[in-house]
Structure 1
Amino acid sequence: MDWLYKPDVCLPLFLPFFFFLLSPHLRLSLSLCKDALALSPSPSPSPCLSLPAIWSFPLQFCCWRSIEMEFEGRYGQVQRQKYDCLLFDLDDTLYPLSSGLAAGCLKNIQDYMVEKLGIHKTKIPDLCNLLYKNYGTTMAGLRAIGYDFDYDDYHSFVHGRLPYDNLKPDPVLKSLLLGLPFRKLIFTNADEAHATKVLSRLGLEGCFEGIICFETLNPTHKTAVSDDEDDIEFVGSATPSSPGSRSSDIFDIIAHFAQPNPSAALPKTPIVCKPSEAAIERALELANINPHRTLFFEDSVRNIQAGKRVGLHTVLVGTSQRVRGADCVLESIHNIREAIPELWEADKMAEVNYSGVAVETSVTA
């Protein structure tokens, strides 16, 4: 960069090209600078401005530094936005718990356990509670302790009788989502058919880039638990068997926790789902999401805390009580603009920053 120190140096002709990108104040300053330079004597005609040695470096430095600062101020803010992706849970996050779908889902799961798996009705409450607590979902827990069933059949039974009519189009939420200038994705433990139906009932088709669902994280649909216990952790055996299992094959999780100090390890599940940190990390990897630049909306405290551990910024939906792991809380997803207004500031800054740039468009008459 020794050219800066030569006594007779020219400012490039293309410098005025940047004028139309700059603010009026900076344009005036540079114009005055240019006029002042034009008064200096030049030893020979030149297509550019000739500078005396004493002015060369300071004036060039000021000009270029002014342009650099202008560009940083006008365009740098957009690049420094905190988030570039919003990740949304589906059930009881995009619609309220009062819709009745969660209650209907629980009833259908319990009916499935009785009708399809032959579990005695008196065991259902305790069993559901333990499976959900230790495996994230009842489905994952049932597979872990040894029950064989087809995943699609389970989802069809559990979701097929839900009161979807309770869900109504939500134009307010749709407007909020479409106004957010970020990538937006759904991340749910449910199957794709259920997720698609819920979004359709809410009128939110087209608001999301994609859906990360049960099939996304569990592409290998198993119908049987592996005979190899080590294989159960992920895929297990590919050999199908008839639904249900012999009682001797079932791990008695109720008896396990009834012991004062249970020593045996719980069997692992082949199902990948929230709140497993591995499941969240896999979802982020598949969708090419940077957790440190992503805001995660969830109604489950466990899922929020797991998301926080993998580096996500977190928003707990459905409560006003702040809990560990939640960076923000929303009583309703509709409160998102009031609670996190900076999400919309990104779009405003982009409009302001680019408002001075001339854009050439062609018009066909």
Structure 2
Amino acid sequence: MEMENDNSFTQQTARPKYDCLLFDLDDTLYPLNSGLALATHQNIKDYMVEKLGIEPSKTDEMTNLLYSNYGTTLAGLRAIGYDFDYEEYYSFVHGKLPYENLKPDPVLRNLLLSLPYRKLIFTNSDKVHTIKALERLGLEDCFEGITCFETLNPIHKGTVYDDEENKGSMATDPTPKTALKCSEIFDIIQHFSQPNPTAVLPRTPVICKPSEHAIELALKIANINPKRTLFFEDSVRNIQAGKRVGLHTVLVGKFQKVKGADYAMESIHNLRKTVPELWETEITAQVIACPET
């Protein structure tokens, strides 16, 4: 009996698990103990006092409430009624940071360059700060692109309505507002001092993490598929928001995973140990038919 000839063979093809690695910047690509976060927080409070006329005794509580409810203090300040120039704000807040504390990081540089994936930055910070920090770390050429504050938010120079007729559009004010009248500001401290706050918090015009809309918009702009992207963040709530939109997630700066984190590592330098599959490939089998001879 003649056996039937099987004119086919199996070919193995390698396919990476991920297409893209998406990195936060501050306290992710460099450690929290660099001192930049502490200095940024102080500079924000100084800006609130010097430029917005907020009482110094209120800045600690206000920054905590605004940050926890809006993602960033800037987003919260805009939500509750303060109008100011974004560029001026970031120039003040980041202009006096101790960038000298950031040193070239050849270990991280080599790790990043050894990974054959798209690599991008996604930060709530402004572009000037992002580029300066990456240059200090020696990582400026390790990333394909940067999605930062300006990517998701048009530059805001301070706006006023010209009149009732033009109330639907915003007109540029050549002399941006600083402190507004108290009656125009939503008192967020008073709001949360009530046992059962009834008023709804005002919405912010600023688009930033941890808003799912902000993350989805950043992914769309960079043409990223969340299901094939690994997202590195030091913020638990940003990690959880990223997970909700379909990203794979790595919590940086923590020993233990939290809800929403697929991985956790104390330092970005632990990348190879924590996510070894980045240097591996997923093998898939494909049956190829052979022509008869």
Q: Which amino acid aligns with 2:188?
A: I
Match of 2:53 in 1: 118
Q: Quick one: distance in 2 between partners of 1:225 and 1:328?
A: 46
Kindly state the Cα deviation for residue 345 of structure 1 after the two structures are TM-superposed.
1.3
- Any stretches of 5+ residues in structure 2 without a counterpart? 284-293
The structure 1 residue matched to 2:235, chosen from 286, 291, 300, is: 300
SS of 1:126's equivalent in the other structure is helix
Q: Which amino acid aligns with 1:270?
A: P
Question: Following superposition of structure 1 onto structure 2, how do residues 217-232 of structure 1 map, counting pairs within 5 Å?
Answer: 217-224=152-159
Cα deviation digits, residues 314-333 of structure 1 (max 9, x gap) = 00000102111111001000
Kindly state the Cα deviation for residue 227 of structure 1 after the two structures are TM-superposed.
10
SS of 1:193's equivalent in the other structure is helix
- Any stretches of 5+ residues in structure 1 without a counterpart? 1-53, 229-234, 350-365
Alpha carbons 1:316, 1:326 under 8 Å: kept: yes
Larger radius of gyration: 1
In the superposition, relative to structure 1, how do residues 227 and 245 fare at CA in structure 2: closer, same or farther (>3 Å)? Answer: farther
In the superposition, relative to structure 1, how do residues 296 and 236 fare at CA in structure 2: closer, same or farther (>3 Å)? Answer: farther
In the superposition, relative to structure 1, how do residues 335 and 226 fare at CA in structure 2: closer, same or farther (>3 Å)? Answer: farther
Q: Which amino acid aligns with 1:203?
A: G
Match of 1:172 in 2: 107
Kindly state the Cα deviation for residue 260 of structure 1 after the two structures are TM-superposed.
1.4
Kindly state the Cα deviation for residue 236 of structure 1 after the two structures are TM-superposed.
7.2
Match of 1:238 in 2: 171
Question: Following superposition of structure 1 onto structure 2, how do residues 252-271 of structure 1 map, counting pairs within 5 Å?
Answer: 252-271=187-206
SS of 1:87's equivalent in the other structure is strand
Q: Quick one: distance in 1 between partners of 2:261 and 2:107?
A: 25
Q: Which amino acid aligns with 1:243?
A: T
In the superposition, relative to structure 1, how do residues 195 and 327 fare at CA in structure 2: closer, same or farther (>3 Å)? Answer: same
Q: Quick one: distance in 2 between partners of 1:223 and 1:307?
A: 31
Cα deviation digits, residues 21-79 of structure 1 (max 9, x gap) = xxxxxxxxxxxxxxxxxxxxxxxxxxxxxxxxx66xx32xx23x21xx1x2x1x2x22x
Alpha carbons 1:236, 1:270 under 8 Å: kept: no
Q: So what's the TM-score if we normalise by structure 1? A: 0.73
Q: Which amino acid aligns with 1:237?
A: M
In the superposition, relative to structure 1, how do residues 225 and 181 fare at CA in structure 2: closer, same or farther (>3 Å)? Answer: farther
Kindly state the Cα deviation for residue 82 of structure 1 after the two structures are TM-superposed.
1.8
Cα deviation digits, residues 214-273 of structure 1 (max 9, x gap) = 000013535237799xxxxxx973343432211110000111111111111111111100
Alpha carbons 1:218, 1:272 under 8 Å: kept: yes
The structure 2 residue matched to 1:274, chosen from 183, 188, 209, is: 209
Which stretches of structure 1, 4 residues or longer, exceed 6 Å deviation after superposition? Answer: 225-228
* Higher helix content, 1 or 2: 1
Match of 1:160 in 2: 95
Cα deviation digits, residues 109-142 of structure 1 (max 9, x gap) = 0000011111001111111110001000000000
SS of 2:69's equivalent in the other structure is helix
Cα deviation digits, residues 274-296 of structure 1 (max 9, x gap) = 00000000000000000010000
- Give aligned pairs, total: 278
In the superposition, relative to structure 1, how do residues 133 and 236 fare at CA in structure 2: closer, same or farther (>3 Å)? Answer: farther
RMSD: 2.1
SS of 1:315's equivalent in the other structure is strand
In the superposition, relative to structure 1, how do residues 106 and 287 fare at CA in structure 2: closer, same or farther (>3 Å)? Answer: same
Alpha carbons 1:315, 1:328 under 8 Å: kept: yes
Question: Following superposition of structure 1 onto structure 2, how do residues 303-318 of structure 1 map, counting pairs within 5 Å?
Answer: 303-318=238-253
Match of 1:145 in 2: 80
SS of 1:123's equivalent in the other structure is helix
Q: Quick one: distance in 2 between partners of 1:184 and 1:273?
A: 20
Of all paired residues, the percent bearing the same amino acid is: 67
Alpha carbons 1:131, 1:142 under 8 Å: kept: yes
SS of 2:120's equivalent in the other structure is strand
SS of 1:275's equivalent in the other structure is coil
Q: Quick one: distance in 2 between partners of 1:291 and 1:282?
A: 12
In the superposition, relative to structure 1, how do residues 336 and 183 fare at CA in structure 2: closer, same or farther (>3 Å)? Answer: same
Cα deviation digits, residues 154-177 of structure 1 (max 9, x gap) = 000000000000000000000000
Q: Quick one: distance in 2 between partners of 1:341 and 1:191?
A: 32
SS of 1:256's equivalent in the other structure is helix
Q: Quick one: distance in 1 between partners of 2:169 and 2:69?
A: 20
Match of 2:150 in 1: 215
Match of 1:199 in 2: 134
